[in-house]
């Protein structure tokens, strides 16, 4: 049974292993700095007729690949699938998973969805009811541009603060059985409203949420930032990452550069023309599934705080003058089993 600690953090008691991960990314992601960690890449359209169907295919094939790569876990052992995405009414997840035949719980956490699914999934397993839960999310540059910004055909100029939606789907299989990295504590985030209304600056809208959740997590557990080998925010990009660091500093939390990174900055190189960095549900999901999980498995990182961030907005809400709300959830993943360093 999880124990609520401090204001908003749940410390897990039953082992919850990240048993396996899977991901498929697009071509641009494959060409980026993490390219060698992305085993499979596909074109943005994934040979489908529409961008939305392509995104659903990324989800469906990532789900299949996760199960195929998880010996000992048959599909009927999956207690539920937690999924969501950025498309209106989260259709990429529903369409992509419709053949799974497993109970489905849809989430909407914008780009924080990967952390939200890990949070709920780990608590369901810790609570004893579930043994195996799949967490999955996706985004697609083309479906996102079409829905949130401009038709691709316009070739619109991009603002330097803007971010580039990652094409890809990432998934994790959480399990009560296994070995390797375990989720040890989770901190669900609070909606932050700093009255940011610039849709070309999502980093600014999410940075206060990331900082707030990190501070809450560390405070609740009475931990220093240096407890973690790596604190990775979701997809703040360069602008949001710098703001997040500034806010942490204001609160007396020094974040060394190597210890404090951001998935949106890790996935693309500035030379790729991606402005402030990557974004989208698929950004933190694929960086986690391909790179961070491998770092944990290889014990290059033993204590990871994964803080995926989301901007809660729609084109309609922004046009009606609503601020872009930020949210971030924190997931502590540690090597604490046999073979882990003391």
Q: Segment near its own copies (CB under 8 A), from 60-68, 85-93, 155-163, 235-243?
A: 85-93
Inter-residue contact 217 to 330 (CB < 8 Å):
yes
**Residue 130 CB, nearest approach to its own copies (Å):** 7
For its own copies, the closer CB: 239 or 313: 313
Contact letters (x/-) for its own copies, 137-166, by CB under 8 A? ----------x-------------------
Q: Which of residues 13-72 bind its own copies (CB under 8 A)?
A: 49-50, 52-53
What six digits make up the tokens of 202?
């999502």
> What is the spatial distance between Cα 311 and Cα 122, in angstroms, rounded to a whole number?
23
Tokens 């579930």, residue located: 130
Quick one: how far is CA 338 from the chain centroid? 27
> What is the spatial distance between Cα 95 and Cα 59, in angstroms, rounded to a whole number?
9
**Residue 93 CB, nearest approach to its own copies (Å):** 8
Does 88 help bind its own copies (rule: CB under 8 A)? yes
Does 221 help bind its own copies (rule: CB under 8 A)? no
Q: Segment near its own copies (CB under 8 A), from 67-75, 88-96, 134-142, 228-236?
A: 88-96
**Residue 129 CB, nearest approach to its own copies (Å):** 3
Helix H or strand E encompassing 241: helix 237-250
Number of residues engaging its own copies in binding (CB under 8 A)? 64
For its own copies, the closer CB: 31 or 147: 147
Q: For residue 285, what are the contacts with CB-CB under 8 A and spacing of at least 6?
A: 23, 113, 114, 136, 137, 138, 168, 169, 170, 171, 308
**Residue 298 CB, nearest approach to its own copies (Å):** 31
Which DSSP symbol is given to 229?
A: S
Helix H or strand E encompassing 320: none
CA angle, 179 then 183 then 189, to 5°: 165
Q: What are phi and psi of 49, to 5 degrees?
A: -75, -30
Q: What are phi and psi of 297, to 5 degrees?
A: -60, -40
Q: Segment near its own copies (CB under 8 A), from 29-37, 61-69, 129-137, 164-172?
A: 129-137
What six digits make up the tokens of 30?
């494959």
**Binder to its own copies among 31, 41, 64, 91 (CB under 8 A)?**
91
**Residue 56 CB, nearest approach to its own copies (Å):** 8
> What is the spatial distance between Cα 120 and Cα 133, in angstroms, rounded to a whole number?
10
Tokens 């039953």, residue located: 14
Q: What are phi and psi of 96, to 5 degrees?
A: -70, -25
Does 247 help bind its own copies (rule: CB under 8 A)? no
Q: Segment near its own copies (CB under 8 A), from 74-82, 199-207, 239-247, 293-301?
A: 74-82
Does 90 help bind its own copies (rule: CB under 8 A)? yes
Contact letters (x/-) for its own copies, 281-320, by CB under 8 A? -------------------------------xxxxxx--x
Does 255 help bind its own copies (rule: CB under 8 A)? no
Does 206 help bind its own copies (rule: CB under 8 A)? no
- Per DSSP bridges, beta strands 164-165 and 303-312 are unpaired
For its own copies, the closer CB: 133 or 255: 133
> What is the spatial distance between Cα 80 and Cα 149, in angstroms, rounded to a whole number?
33
Which residues contact its own copies by CB under 8 A? 1-4, 7-8, 10, 49-50, 52-53, 76, 79-80, 84, 86-91, 94-95, 97-98, 100-110, 116, 119-120, 123-124, 126-131, 147, 187-191, 193, 312-317, 320, 322, 325, 327
């Amino acid at each position: 049974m999880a124990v609520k600690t401090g204001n908003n953090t749940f410390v897990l008691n039953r082992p919850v292993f990240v048993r396996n991960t899977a991901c498929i990314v697009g071509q641009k992601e494959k060409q980026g700095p993490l390219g060698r960690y992305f085993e499979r890449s596909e074109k943005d359209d994934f040979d489908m007729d529409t961008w939305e169907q392509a995104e659903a295919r990324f989800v469906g094939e990532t789900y299949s690949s996760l199960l195929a790569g998880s010996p000992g876990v048959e599909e009927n052992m999956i207690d539920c699938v937690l999924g969501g995405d950025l498309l209106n009414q989260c259709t990429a997840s529903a369409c992509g998973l419709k053949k799974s035949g497993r109970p489905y719980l849809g989430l909407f956490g914008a780009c924080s969805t990967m952390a939200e699914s890990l949070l709920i999934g780990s608590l369901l397993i810790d609570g004893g009811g579930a043994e195996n839960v799949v967490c999955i999310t996706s985004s697609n540059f083309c479906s996102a541009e079409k829905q949130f910004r401009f038709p691709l055909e316009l070739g619109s100029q991009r603002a330097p603060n803007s971010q580039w939606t990652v094409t890809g789907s990432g998934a994790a299989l959480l399990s009560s059985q296994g070995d390797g990295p375990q989720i040890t504590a989770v901190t669900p985030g609070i909606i932050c409203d700093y009255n940011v209304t610039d849709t070309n600056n999502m980093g600014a809208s999410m940075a206060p949420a990331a900082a707030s959740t990190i501070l809450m997590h560390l405070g609740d557990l009475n931990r220093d930032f240096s407890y973690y080998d790596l604190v990775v925010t979701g997809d703040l990009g360069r602008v949001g990452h710098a703001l997040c660091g500034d806010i942490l500093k204001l609160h007396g939390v020094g974040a060394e550069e190597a210890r404090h990174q951001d998935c949106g900055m890790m996935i693309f190189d500035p030379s790729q023309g991606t402005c402030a960095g990557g974004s989208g549900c698929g950004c933190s999901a694929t960086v986690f599934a391909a790179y961070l999980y491998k770092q944990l498995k290889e014990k290059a990182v033993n204590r990871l705080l994964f803080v995926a961030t989301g901007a809660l907005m729609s084109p309609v809400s922004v046009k009606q003058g609503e601020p872009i709300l930020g949210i971030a959830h924190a997931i502590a993943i540690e090597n604490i089993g046999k073979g882990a360093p003391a």
